[in-house]
Structure 1
């Protein structure tokens, strides 16, 4: 492994290993996602049946795929905004991170990806299996599934970068709980957590697609399930890359500007 990326890989590996200590918490998350999966399936299946078997391009089979993939990815793609980083900014411990020889944003990214990738095992895979055994899940052909896995990894990166940008605002705001709560609500809704984005009214769909949020959840689901395929799927993944560059650059800019005004008091 090139020495230039070795520190970040070690952070990712250590974070992944640390998650093995919290298997009961992962089991709790699995049960919660499974419970809400059945509730979501009941509501959305009733909607499809009431609409005559198809709504917004979704029939029962594609809606079932949406339900279980959206629940399965929740452990890997974090739509909240809580972070240890917010506390470190508030307490001034972020100064220690700035003194380290690693870039703050990318080092926290490596730690977050370790947690995200670990969640694929105890949460995502069991939910997919249970969904397939109950109401069923349709997947894209093998090439589409591989591209979908790339979309999942990119969504995990974009998820962190968005949360990082919100948390680093603490360098100006100090207390960011209000902003983080607002971010969680907006990102969850516009990402397609509650209902698929294609079911939104036209004006809301246009608004959602002008943000990075559908790339967090709707895009990986669509590519994995085969709802979008071929050139459209590749374009959706490239759109994720675009948002990663934009949001990542915004986080870097906020970090550099905030670092100049950081003041830490105490002994």
Structure 2
């Protein structure tokens, strides 16, 4: 545990050094949030409600999605593990006195924690200053929202770890990461709330793991009914995906490390 806490702290310190990049990301998320919110407000001016969402719900989800973009890394960055597999440096990783998946999980959670504090919260605050946003009611609801965000970060890590593991078979994961970013942005509710999709398509996408990174946390935050019911159903879905994906990470790591090919010497 002490080792993984130290790795978490290293991840936190590493990303805290990129202050200009953090500020640029904050500005970018805020600007895109303002643009998307303005567009959706124009839509709701013509139609007051879409599948249980009103204008306030939609604008709130826009800024939640922008706030979650960095912690869950739906667009990236990819884990450095993929590049280390390609270069052969993963051989050094396998000599460490720690399993590969928990090591990278601790490091990535440090990155996510920094992004959450210094990029996500300010982005959401910008939305709250400009628009009227819908907030959780009561400590219990806030607690469920916090747990949902934590589970979203676990799901986001597990998916990116699996993309990186593909390097043990493909040697180069850039194509996998590009395709995954496009798929994740569409299926997660990042670009458009899944409530705006046709009922069957929206419900189906909510069951996929990518929705647990953005759409399900938004449902929990807003107190909306998901495919498994209210906020507790959403948390159960996220927890199930997090457990299943982390188990798959461990199983595939054991299989992948049997076929390590060291590149470059």
**TM-score normalised by structure 1 residue count:** 0.93
Deviations 1:103-159 (A, max 9, x none): 101110100000101112221111122111111211111211111011101110110
**Residues 7-86 of structure 1: matches in 2 within 5 Å?**
7-51=3-47, 53-81=48-76, 82-86=78-82
1:169 touches 1:254 (CA, 8 Å); kept in 2? no
Give yes or no for contact 1:145–1:223 (8 Å, CA) kept in 2. Answer: no
Tell me the C-alpha RMSD between the 2 structures.
1.7
Give the Cα separation in 1 of the matches to 2:71 and 2:222.
17
5+ unaligned residues in a row in structure 1: which ranges?
Answer: none
For 1:228 and 1:143, the matched residues in 2 are separated by 17
Question: Could you give the per-residue CA deviations for residues 245-265 of structure 1, whole angstroms, max 9, x where no partner exists?
Answer: 111122122211111111215
Counterpart check, 1:236 vs 2:231? no
Tell me how far apart the structure 1 counterparts of residues 222 and 8 of structure 2 sit (CA, whole Å): 28
d(CA) in 1 for partners of 2:14 and 2:87? Answer: 24
Quote the offset at 1:18 in angstroms. 2.2
Deviates more, 1:164-173 or 1:218-227: 218-227
Structure 1 residue 48, shift from structure 2 partner: 1.6
How far is the alpha carbon of 1:59 from its aligned partner?
0.9
Report the CA distance between 1:210 and its aligned residue. 3.2
Q: Could you list the runs of 4 or more consecutive aligned residues of structure 1 that deviate by over 4 angstroms after TM superposition?
A: none
Is residue 2:157 matched to residue 1:160?
A: yes
Q: TM-score, normalised by structure 2?
A: 0.94
The CA deviation at 1:183 is 0.7
User: Would the aligned equivalents of 2:224 and 2:230 in 1 still touch at CA under 8 Å?
Assistant: no
2:97 is equivalent to residue 91 of structure 1: no
CA distance, structure 2, for counterparts of residue 101 and residue 114 of structure 1? 20
CA distance in 2, matches of 1:235, 1:203: 18
Q: Distance in 1 between matches of 2:186 and 2:123?
A: 21
How many Å separate the matches in 1 of 2:101 and 2:251? 11
The alignment status of 1:171 with 2:168, answered yes or no, reads yes
The superposition leaves residues 29-68 of structure 1 with CA deviations (integer Å, 9 ceiling, x where unpaired) of 00100111011112211222222x1112111111121111
Q: How many residues align?
A: 262
Question: Matched residues in 1 for 2:133 and 2:206: separation?
Answer: 25
- Residue number in structure 2 paired with 1:207: 204
TM-superposition CA deviations, 1:48-107 (whole Å, max 9, x none): 2222x1112111111121111111111211103522111001011111111111110111
Distance 1:47 1:58 in 2: 12
Give per-residue Cα distances to partners, 1:229-257, cap 9 Å, x unaligned: 9x721121111111011111221222111
| 1:111 partnered with 2:143 | no
- Following superposition, the deviation at residue 184 of structure 1 comes to 0.8
Asked whether the equivalents of residues 12 and 114 of structure 2 are also in contact (C-alpha less than 8 Å), the reply is yes
